[in-house]
């Protein structure tokens, strides 16, 4: 199960051209999981407006269960992604009075229905969604919990409150994906690798430290491996991190010990899953906007 925001990305190129695409980090992740062959449900608040109907239709078209979607009357949340010459994107969000923050209990389904719970991004920032998701993660005792921190400093109204919530969520998290940019915000006075390793003492058993073209560092309490990035001609990086997370989850969940958390101590399996995620993300980087690959594309 993937919980969090679904929104519209307005992607602005260097030339000033504007293209609207369906987005939101958890939305992208759920689509990528389904396209890569995983079974997944999306839980989030989505508007009844035309953009919202497009978001729900795309989830269904990709094979994502929408039984946990809460339809609301507020307009669809917007994100403006400004893409530079390298394909990297900088985001600005238009959130107040919009749909994504309105996710409230009851959250879709019963806890026992989910083997894996994935969340992050705006889902840990904007209310009441953040409070809803925090409570859900805290009670997901039988599920493997993965969090993509995916910091959005420009929408954090109270840094201390955000960090306190993140600390509580991480205490109930088994796998955390964090980028070097995330850690620059969370731990500005600390080296990214050291900050990532320190996360292992706060709850997670696995840390996936992503650094763009420098690849992914897979860390556990006893092991550490680097998975190189795949070299591709980058169109933009919109949705690449979300696709990596989805690829990791799909590959890891295909093992036969999904219900045994000791599988998170198998560094070879974790590295293989991270490599699959990196491959999927590399394909996403060759496409405009958030357009995750299908399994056959790999």
| pLDDT score, position 99 | 98
Burial 52-70, CB ≥16 within 10 A → b, else e: bebbbebbeebebbbebbe
Q: Which regions in the chain score pLDDT beneath 50?
A: 258-259
| pLDDT score, position 265 | 80
Does 298 fall in a domain?
Answer: no
Give the CB-side neighbour count of residue 283, counting CA atoms within 13 A.
20
Does 24 fall in a domain?
Answer: yes
| pLDDT score, position 106 | 74
Say if pTM beats, i.e. exceeds, 0.85: yes
Does 286 fall in a domain?
Answer: yes
**Domain of 156: which CATH number?**
3.40.1190.20
Does 245 fall in a domain?
Answer: yes
Q: Which of 119, 113, 149 is nearest to 137 (CA)?
A: 119
> In terms of residue numbers, what domain contains 125?
2-293
| pLDDT score, position 257 | 55
- Structurally, the chain folds into a number of domains equal to 1
| pLDDT score, position 263 | 67
């Amino acid at each position: 199960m993937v919980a969090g925001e679904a929104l519209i990305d307005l992607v602005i190129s260097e030339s000033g051209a504007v293209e609207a695409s369906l987005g939101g980090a958890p939305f992208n992740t759920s689509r990528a999981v389904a396209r890569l062959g995983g079974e997944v449900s999306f839980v989030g608040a989505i508007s009844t407006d035309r953009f919202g109907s497009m978001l729900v239709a795309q989830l269904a078209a990709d094979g994502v269960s929408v039984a946990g979607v809460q339809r609301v009357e507020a307009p669809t949340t917007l994100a403006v992604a400004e893409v530079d010459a390298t394909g990297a994107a900088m985001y600005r969000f238009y959130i107040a009075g919009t749909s994504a923050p309105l996710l409230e209990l009851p959250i879709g389904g019963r806890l026992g229905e989910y083997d894996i719970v994935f969340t992050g991004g705006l889902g840990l920032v904007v209310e009441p969604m953040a409070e809803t998701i925090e409570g859900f993660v805290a009670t997901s005792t039988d599920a493997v919990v993965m969090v993509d921190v995916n910091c959005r400093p420009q929408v954090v109204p109270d840094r201390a409150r955000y960090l306190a919530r993140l600390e509580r969520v991480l205490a109930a998290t088994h796998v955390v994906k964090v980028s070097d940019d995330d850690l620059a915000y969370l731990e500005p006075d600390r080296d990214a690798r050291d900050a990532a390793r320190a996360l292992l003492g706060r709850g997670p058993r696995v840390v996936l430290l992503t650094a763009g073209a420098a690849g992914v560092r897979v860390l556990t309490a006893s092991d550490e491996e680097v998975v190189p990035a795949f070299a591709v001609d980058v169109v933009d990086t919109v949705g690449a991190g979300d696709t990596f997370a989805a690829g990791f989850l799909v590959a890891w969940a295909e093992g036969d010990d999904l219900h045994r958390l000791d599988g998170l101590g198998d560094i070879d399996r974790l590295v293989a899953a991270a490599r699959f995620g990196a491959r999927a993300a590399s394909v996403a980087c060759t496409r405009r906007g958030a357009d995750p690959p299908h399994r056959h594309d790999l």
